[in-house]
Amino acid sequence: MKLDHNNYDDDDDDNDDEAHKMCLAIIDRDVSNGDDCNGEDLFSPPLNFAMVDNGIFRSGFPDSANFSFLQTLGLRSIICLCPEPYPEANMEFLKSNGIKLFQFGIEGYKLFSDHEFRSQNFYVFLEPFVNIPQDTIREALKVVLDVRNHPVLIHCKRGKHRTGCLVGCFRKLQRWCLTSVFDEYQRFAAAKARVTDQRFMELFDVSSLKHLPMSFSCSRR
C-alpha cells in the first residue's frame, strides 16, 4: 500500500513545504556550483528536524532525500506517530540500517468549511475537541525513556502536533515548567498551535512513569 502523505494528517502546511523545497533547491544549486564543502555531498534533514535531548531527535516524516542524513545519526529506532502503514522505501531503509520501528498510530484531524462572504471565499478552520489517547502517548514515552532504543527519532507528518505532544509530555518528566513546554511546542506548531494539544500536555499525568530510569542530565537535581 502506497502511503499518501497528503491525505492522512492534520498538519498540512503549504508554507512548510515551500520552505523545505527552497532549502533543497539551495542545496542543489550550491552542489551544482561546486560550493559544497570539499566536494562532499550535503545532507538534507527531515522537515522540522531538531535534537530533543542526548540520543533523542524529532522531525516530520522522513523521505528518501533524508536517508543519508539519518544515517549520520546512527539511529537504533524510530517512533512513528502516524497510523498508516509505513512506506516501503522507509521500511527498506530501516531494515538495511538495523533500525527498529515503533509505531503508535494517532489519528490526525482537520475540519474546515467554505463560507461565501461578500463574493469572497473564506476557509474557517474549526478545532474540534479530540480525545488524544493518553495510553498511546504513555507507551511511546516508555520507548523514548529506554536508552536501549537510543538514538531514537520521533516523527509524525510535519513534526508539529503529535510529535509536539509527545515531546511536551517528555518535558514534564524532565520537570520543565508548563510555560517552557508550551514555548517549545509553539516554536514548531507556529500558527497551527492548538489549545487542545496544550491542554492535553497540561493534564497529562506523568506519575506512572516516574519510576522508570532516566539518564538525562536535565532531569536530575
Render each residue's pLDDT in the chain as its tens digit; 221 residues.
Answer: 433 443 334 444 454 555 445 444 434 444 344 444 554 678 999 999 999 999 999 999 999 999 999 999 999 999 999 999 999 999 999 999 999 999 998 876 654 433 333 344 433 334 444 567 899 999 999 999 999 999 999 999 999 999 999 999 999 999 999 999 999 999 998 888 889 999 999 999 998 887 666 655 444 43
What are the grid coordinates assigned to 183, written together?
514555548
pLDDT number for residue 151: 98
Catalytic residue numbers read 156
φ, ψ at 141 (rounded to 5°) = -65, -35
pLDDT number for residue 1: 40
pLDDT number for residue 17: 54
- pTM (2 d.p.): 0.73
pLDDT number for residue 102: 98
pLDDT number for residue 38: 55
Rounded distance between C-alpha atoms, residue 182 and residue 180, angstroms: 5
Residues of the chain by 3-state class (helix, strand, coil), percent to 5: 45, 15, 40
Which residues, listed in sequence order, are joined to residue 80 by a DSSP beta bridge? 103, 155
Rounded distance between C-alpha atoms, residue 202 and residue 207, angstroms: 13
